[in-house]
Structure 1
Amino acid sequence: MSLQFLLTALVVVLIPGTGVIYTLAIAFGRGWRASIYAALGCTLGIVPHILAATLGLAALLHISALLFQVVKFAGVAYLLYLAWQAIRSGGALSVEACPTAQRGWRIAWRGALINILNPKLSVFFLALLPPFLSGDPATATAELLGLGAVFMGLTLVVFVTYGVFAATLRSRLLSSDAAMRWLNRSFAALFAALGARLALEKA
């Protein structure tokens, strides 16, 4: 595994995307423990896409316009649902002083769905991973899975860091109703914007 791959993967993971925004929303709303579940879920949501890239299914998704559109619009609907959950009082992603209790597995599952329902991720890994292979066909599958595992490890570490940092600011935000309203509206707007961007993506 090359240093170039590690640096490339780290830069990609550090750029805030849907998973980071979800992790931050959970951290601000429910604290650092919940944010770890969110980060774990987002990381596990990468698994199907790495397997798709390894098995060649990503190429099929890229070629099949119908399959791509089905997964894409399921993802769009889900992001709009998360936007509603961020702005709705008592919603799963709303930032409130006394949030309703949620099981860790539910937080993780929502995070996983964010990535599972993003068809661009399979195509992304199909483009990202092969250039870093050794060129030996006999070890190509193992190398792809290894690179994917490293990418997932970096994702988990970076997302947990984002979440724990955000959680440290939580107590300050909870003392201001205006700050909580601003955060809820901001997260709702971000998820809605990400849903609109996904809707415009092409295979």
Structure 2
Amino acid sequence: MISSTAALGIALITFGLAITPGPNSMYLVSRSLTQGRLAGLVSLGGVVTGFMAYLLATTVGLAVLFSTVPLLFVAIKVAGAAYLLWLAISMIRKGSSVFRPGDGRRHSASRLYAMGLATCLLNPKIALFYAALLPQLINPDGASIWAQTMQLGLVQIAVATLVNTCWVVAAATLASVLARSRRAEHIVRIAAGGLLAWFAVHLGLAQPATAQP
């Protein structure tokens, strides 16, 4: 078992990162704004699955693979940047109010889940974040390295899920207010799309050494 100090440390670090807008949280906000709370939560399920996939892959050496085969990291991050940029452009170009029921394109639950999963998996910095942070909190004299890595990762995922759930609920609540104001809706839509575009560029230019989820 990991120590309470290690668990608290990873929880605090994750909380600090999760409350700062990033690619995953901004995607979840955009889904919640355009399609409601349930859509945001379904999308969050996809993101959490992506976290789990990267955690499992990291424990068996995916981060090492990214370091030894830089082109793999570059390929995934470019694909992720292009995906986020496409989402940003789609949001900004919406002509009608995307905050009113029935307006805009409404994706199925399976599509929302898949898009959330893709958003997470197309950010390879998550694996590098795990590789850079988790070993610092592992006790070499404690339980197996694999077990400690998984436990620390699960704490990170739990905290990130809680914070992102708050993002979803807040965005869905804001959407109901924005539905009454075209001007406010337009401003928020442009701002959200602009942030997604900024994250797309940031992800595309990121180097492995500066990885953060």
> Which 4+ runs in 1 deviate beyond 4 A?
none
Q: In 1, are the aligned partners of 2:47 and 2:116 still within 8 Å (CA)? A: yes
Q: Alpha-carbon deviations, 1:97-125, whole Å to 9, x = none?
A: 13343212211221221120112111111
Q: Does 1:34 align with 2:39?
A: yes
> Of residues 183, 186, 200 in structure 1, which corresponds to 2:205?
200
Give the structure 1 partner of residue 55 of structure 2.
50
For normalisation by structure 2, the TM-score amounts to 0.86
Give the structure 1 partner of residue 98 of structure 2.
95
For normalisation by structure 1, the TM-score amounts to 0.90
> Of residues 134, 150, 153 in structure 2, which corresponds to 1:129?
134
Structure 1 unaligned segments of length 5 or more: list them: none
Q: Secondary structure at the match of 1:45?
A: helix
Give the structure 1 partner of residue 211 of structure 2.
none
Equivalence map 1:111-190=2 (5 Å): 111-136=116-141, 139-190=144-195
Taking the aligned partners of 2:88 and 2:186, their CA distance within structure 1 comes to: 14
Taking the aligned partners of 2:154 and 2:80, their CA distance within structure 1 comes to: 24
Task: Please say which of residues 3-12 and 55-64 is displaced more in the overlay.
Answer: 3-12
Give the structure 2 partner of residue 19 of structure 1.
24
Q: In 1, are the aligned partners of 2:34 and 2:175 still within 8 Å (CA)? A: yes
Taking the aligned partners of 2:190 and 2:11, their CA distance within structure 1 comes to: 35
Q: In 1, are the aligned partners of 2:80 and 2:122 still within 8 Å (CA)? A: yes
Task: Please say which of residues 72-81 and 1-10 is displaced more in the overlay.
Answer: 1-10
Q: In 2, are the aligned partners of 1:49 and 1:58 still within 8 Å (CA)? A: no
Give the deviation of 1:166 after TM superposition: 2.0
Q: Alpha-carbon deviations, 1:67-104, whole Å to 9, x = none?
A: 1111111111111111122123379xx73313343212
Q: In 2, are the aligned partners of 1:79 and 1:195 still within 8 Å (CA)? A: yes
Q: In 2, are the aligned partners of 1:76 and 1:195 still within 8 Å (CA)? A: yes
Taking the aligned partners of 1:52 and 1:83, their CA distance within structure 2 comes to: 29
Taking the aligned partners of 1:101 and 1:83, their CA distance within structure 2 comes to: 16
Give the structure 1 partner of residue 80 of structure 2.
75
Q: In 2, are the aligned partners of 1:25 and 1:95 still within 8 Å (CA)? A: no
Aligned residues: 201
Structure 2 unaligned segments of length 5 or more: list them: 209-213
